[in-house]
Amino acid sequence: MIELQLNGQADIASVMQGFQVGSPCALAEAPQGRILFGSWSGEDVVIVRTAECCWEINCHGGTIAVHRICRDLAAAGLQTDIQGSASSETLEEKIERVTNEVLLKCRTRKAAGLVLAQQDGRLLKFAEDLQSESDDRSRSARQHQKRWQSVAQHLTRPWRVAIVGEPNVGKSSLINAIAGLQRSIVSATPGTTRDLVEVDIVVRGWMFRLIDTAGVRTGSDSLPEQLGIVQSLALLGDCDLICLVVDASGGRFESALMDRLKKVEVPICVVRNKCDILSDSEKTGVPLFASSLDSVNAMKCIVDVSAKTGFGISGLLTWIAETAVPEEPRTEIALPFVELFGVV
């Protein structure tokens, strides 16, 4: 939070030129206590008039956003007072503290190594680039942040991979084969998996969370199964990748599942399971369900696997890893932790 004293200046709009109001009330006309929403040089902020010539500015972009706004105000000849944690530590101290906190949460050697590499001063240099008065330097830093923020976020948080499909296509068996342990429930009875089952794995040094879901089908008369189906469909809007498991010999999809998949934006891989039971012509021919996927824009590839024999699983894991991390960060890359720089 920033407290701003205008010292009797009346033209508030000219002083706070960086603020673009998103509220119906104009900045200069705001009464005391009125909350104004808007943005300041791309940062979402909330401004409240606490007295005739006193304003309170709140933002969510972390220390970098606070210092950028203070720099703009200082350029206008104004004095500001930063309240809260930002006033008790320098930027260098906060970078060191946050880096140590992130390091403690790392669960793989690769993630820990990338975080340790950040302690050589590169994050401070990156912060200075973000605050730079040079448009080119600041723009380049923003582009770098957008490029690497997903990797930075997932140093401590696994990518969520939803394993979805109709009943009895082998979703649970596939997860068991990947994880190497019997965490999911395998049964020939439709509707056996009713609650989400999560299994964490490491692929190429990155953490992934496989989420087994209830099979999606119409006509169920079981309330628990219906609730599981609703939960499965809802998960598709809260994951990073989707593996749509299908029976290799199948030729159609449940309409509810297809309608939901058409609306998601995360990458989808169709996993054609039980390919070990296919004939040679079926293995080389066009899958029966291919035409059903024409309207699913997020569908990226089709992988043949056999949860029973293990065939194709390495290829599926390759797709998962390369889709989540299409470009591996080099050791000299500055990784913009969201705790420091927010999300663009």
191, 222: one domain: yes
Could you tell me which residue, 188 or 301, shows the higher pLDDT? 301
Q: What is the pLDDT of residue 120?
A: 92
**10-67 pLDDT tens trace:** 456 666 666 776 666 777 777 887 777 777 766 777 888 787 777 787 776 566 667 7
Where does the pLDDT of residue 4 fall: very low under 50, low under 70, confident under 90, or very high at 90 and above? Answer: low
Helices 313-324 and 171-179, axial angle in degrees (round to 10)? 80
Domain boundary among 87, 105, 139: 87
Query: Which CATH number do you get for residue 269?
Result: 3.40.50.300
Same domain for 167 and 297, yes or no, is yes
Q: Give the pLDDT mean for 215-238.
A: 59
Are both 246 and 197 inside the same structural domain?
yes
Domains held by the chain: number: 3
Averaged pLDDT, 290-312: 74
Residues 319, 248, single domain; the answer is yes
Domain span including residue 56: 2-87
Looking at the structure, do residues 32 and 149 belong to the same domain, yes or no?
no
pLDDT for residue 114 = 96
Residues 240-268 pLDDT 10s:
999 988 887 765 666 667 777 788 888 98
Closest CA to 210 of 174, 169, 264: 174
- 60: three-class secondary structure by DSSP: coil
Q: What's the order of all strands across the beta sheet hosting 159-165? A: 197-203, 206-212, 159-165, 241-247, 268-273, 299-304
Angle at 225 between CA 222 and CA 231, to 5 degrees: 145
Instruction: Please tell me whether residue 216 adopts helix, strand or coil conformation.
Output: coil
Which sign, positive or negative, has the C-alpha torsion 224, 229, 230, 236?
positive
Per the CB < 8 A criterion, the answer to whether 178 and 201 are in contact is yes
More confident residue, 123 or 342: 123
Statement to judge: residues 193 and 217 lie in one domain = yes
Model confidence over 265-282: pLDDT tens digits?
Answer: 889 898 989 888 665 555
Cα angle for residues 331, 334, 335 (degrees, 5° grid): 100
Q: Is residue 80 part of a domain?
A: yes
Question: Given this model, what pLDDT does residue 36 score?
Answer: 78
Describe the strand order of the beta sheet including 35-40 as a list of residue ranges. Answer: 19-21, 35-40, 43-51, 54-59, 2-5, 80-82
Whether residues 141 and 171 share a domain: the answer is no
pTM for this model (two decimals) = 0.66
- pLDDT score of 307 more than 80: yes
Does residue 140 sit in the same domain as residue 253?
Answer: no
Query: Is residue 283 a part of any domain in this protein?
Result: yes
- Kind and range of the H or E run holding 261: helix 255-261
Residue 296 and residue 181 share a domain = yes
Average pLDDT for the chain: 78
- The residue with greater pLDDT, 16 or 157, is 157
